[in-house]
Structure 1
Amino acid sequence: MKKFKEFDIQFVGLKQGKHQFDFEIKQKFFDAFEFEEFNDANVHVDLTLDKKSTMLELTFECEGFVNVYCDLSNEPYDQEIKSKLHLLVKFGDEYNDENEEVLIIPHSEYQINVAQYIYEMIVLSVPNKRIHPGVKDGTLSTEILEKLEAFQPKEEKENKDGETDPRWDQLKKLLTDK
């Protein structure tokens, strides 16, 4: 974890109480994790470390954007993200991160690296289905969207007189004739 040295937080030597840490996350951070779904990123992370006598409470809050491709139009856009993560750090005999809300670290540790938690919080805050805002409000016009519209199934429309297709009327009679 040498590449994430700036995310090491040394809690030994800190007084009990709350301590603030700020991180600016850019695309370089995700490149280090070899995560290629984001084109660009600009996320501000506020970390509050509440040091207590027997444990640490970490509260991560992030806000910003990541540039991703739309799932419908394949156009890049900035997806706003906002997320919060709460983590308890307790001390034990050996390292254990099986529980996602509680991290157990050995008594001999003097620092904690928070890069993995920041990475997971940001990646999980992006929606599963990414849709460009222009698709939602109809302002985006691309060739792909026009093709999707052309291949969309058409609904059966009634005639101007309010009559339906006589073939369907005959089939409907079969359902009612019992």
Structure 2
Amino acid sequence: MKPNEFLIPFQGLKQGKHEFAYQLGNEFFEQFDYQEFESCKIDVKIDLNKTSTMLEFDIHGQGTVEVPCDLTQELYDQPVSGELSLVVKFGEEFNDEDDELLVLPHGEHQVDLSQYVYEMLVLAVPLKRIHPGVEDGTLESDILDKLEELEPGENKTDDDESDPRWDDLKKLLTDK
């Protein structure tokens, strides 16, 4: 099922600037079979500048997505923000090979921006997602306690009891 929420009919629009605003939830991402977000609330604003030969789109998205932390699996709201500029020109055949240029066949009267909005927002989420409570130390979690317990620390053996097999090698480091 292809989303048609971002199907923008440009044929009846006058030349000049136009603005479109959307609020996205999980339904939008489910249409792309993307299930990484528990919930989301994202505002998308599309500015269109229509000229006689091309269309210029500036797409801005900002909001939050609820995702699990990579360390603790605790859910938290991750702020996301993304921008994309897209130029639409007209030619003989459809071509979307370039990320910033879309070529539509002559005679088209609408453009579907849903794939561009989807990719912009998914790429706006950081690859490594860390709960803010982990970074500032305020999150209480059994997983964090276990990670701290297993954290490699200083060697617990007494320094006086070194292995004699390594003594000659240690001398090489100091005899320069």
Q: Which residue is 2:110 aligned to? A: 111
Amino acid at match of 2:29: F
- Secondary structure at 2:93 match in 1: coil
Distance (whole Å) between structure 2 residues aligned to residue 44 and residue 154 of structure 1: 45
Question: What is the RMSD of the two structures over their aligned residues, measured on CA atoms?
Answer: 2.1
Code of the residue aligned with 1:39 in structure 2: it is E
For the residue of structure 1 that corresponds to 2:115, the secondary structure is: helix
Counterpart position of 1:175: 173
- Partner residue in 1 for 2:125: 126
The superposition leaves residues 38-79 of structure 1 with CA deviations (integer Å, 9 ceiling, x where unpaired) of 000100000000001111000001110011111000111100
Deviation readout 1:96-118 (Å, 9 max, x if unpaired): 00011100010110001111111
Provide the rounded CA distance (Å) in 2 between the counterparts of 1:165 and 1:117.
63
Report the Cα distance in structure 1 between the residues aligned to 2:175 and 2:120, rounded to whole angstroms: 60
Amino acid at match of 1:125: A
Match of 2:41 in 1: 42
Deviates more, 1:4-13 or 1:128-137: 4-13
The answer to whether structure 1 residue 51 and structure 2 residue 46 are counterparts is no
Distance 2:13 2:85 in 1: 20
- Residue 83 of structure 2: aligned partner: 84
Q: How many corresponding residue pairs?
A: 173
Q: What letter corresponds to residue 86 of structure 2 in structure 1?
A: L
TM-score scaled to structure 1, two decimals? 0.89
What do the CA deviations read for 1:94-140 (whole angstroms, capped 9, x no partner)? 10000111000101100011111111111000000000000010111
> How far is the alpha carbon of 1:146 from its aligned partner?
1.1
Counterpart-to-counterpart distance in 1, 2:5 and 2:109: 15
The equivalences for 1:3-82 within 5 A come to: 3-82=2-81
**SS of the counterpart of 2:3?**
helix
Gaps of 5+ in 1: none
> Are residues 151 and 92 of structure 1, via their aligned partners in 2, closer, same or farther at CA, if it must alter by over 3 Å?
same
In the alignment, structure 2 segments of 5+ residues that lack a partner are none
**Which secondary structure state, in structure 2, belongs to the residue aligned with residue 145 of structure 1?**
helix
User: Could you tell me the TM-score, scaled by structure 2's length?
Assistant: 0.90
- Specify the SS of the correspondent of 2:144: helix
1:152 paired residue number: 151
| Runs of 4+ residues over 4 Å off in structure 1 | none
